[in-house]
Structure 1
Amino acid sequence: MAPLPVEFEPLVTDWITAAATAFAALGTIATFVTGLILLKKEASRDSERLDAERRKQARRVHGYAAWQEEARGPQGWVRAGYAYVIANNSDEPIYRIRLPREFVNTTTRYRMLEAGTRQIQPMTEEEVNGLDLADNWRAANPEVELPPIGANVFPIAFAFVDAGNVRWERGNDGSLREGPVRLMPNP
């Protein structure tokens, strides 16, 4: 066999092939980088959507003191009186609810409150007397939106954990804020 002749000078087709290979490599890298950027944007969008859903659930949970025709207390059903009400109007349950009762120096705790339900806790006489202070607060803060259930409704402070295991706190003024990430002991 005869040896193959080797040319040392590149041909035009070699330059065209090299340029096409380089452009293909750059195109592959650009496609990969673009894919990563789009993936990051999609993850950010999903995170924002989940955050909005979580906030939506928390905004639909209210706590207030109001006149109740019936309330279930430690001794059974009590007729007509003021009571603390925690209403879960969201589509998910809430957990580890804490209701500080400042006038009697104690905290009432509930493990869970199903979606669309209310927890009613009768108030003591000392707590009802404290509502006069809340009534003065309500007159001074008419811009705060309260649940539309009646004239004698007073917002209360309480904390809960949503279905996404995020702690939320409602203030006496009806405000809602995401609480610090700490676990509350179960009642």
Structure 2
Amino acid sequence: MPYDRYVAICKPLHYGTLLGSTTCVHMAAAAWGSGFINVLLHTAITFSLPLCQGNALDQFFREIPQILKLSCSHSYLREVGLLMVSASLVFRCFVFILVSYLQIFRAVLRIPSEQEWHKAFATCLPHLAVASLYISTAMFAHLKPPSISTPSLDLVVSFLYSVVPPAVNPLIYSMRNKELKDAVWKRVHWTLFP
């Protein structure tokens, strides 16, 4: 999505050639392929662990760090390896998004019309907000120190990064709609000042 925005704003006359069907297929294949490799590594390493503390977890879905806690082998190196693979994939994605948006903001700030600035920022900021929300909550979930890890905190954090970003995604994107924005502001005003 950031590359689409980048090409649409920074190189609008080349949009058809830069974002043809081949490019879209390659980008989708890269995203799906990296996700599949990440999941395959996590699954293979997790199934190779001997579980000696039972197989019951206090979670509503199975998180890799929670399963690693049930292992009776020393899984520290495996956990660090999985974390490094996942972090490298997320970091590359984050850098790509960040560089794309920096290029977009640099191009937009050169536009003399403030109305055009508003259009460009209204197009880009919702995606940036959703991506930042997801990445920050997922990073906190997987990079928090084990000393503060409790079952209830793990449950809340897992809920935050797996449910909240997809739930607020439609809300963030729909805030570009003027009628919805007006209705939300009316409701907030009515709630605060009855």
Same fold (TM over 0.5): no
Query: TM-score if structure 2 supplies the norm length?
Result: 0.25
Q: Which structure dedicates a bigger proportion of its chain to helix?
A: 2
- CA radius of gyration, larger in: 1
Query: TM-score if structure 1 supplies the norm length?
Result: 0.26
Greater length-normalized contact order (CA 8 Å, ≥ 6 residues apart): 2
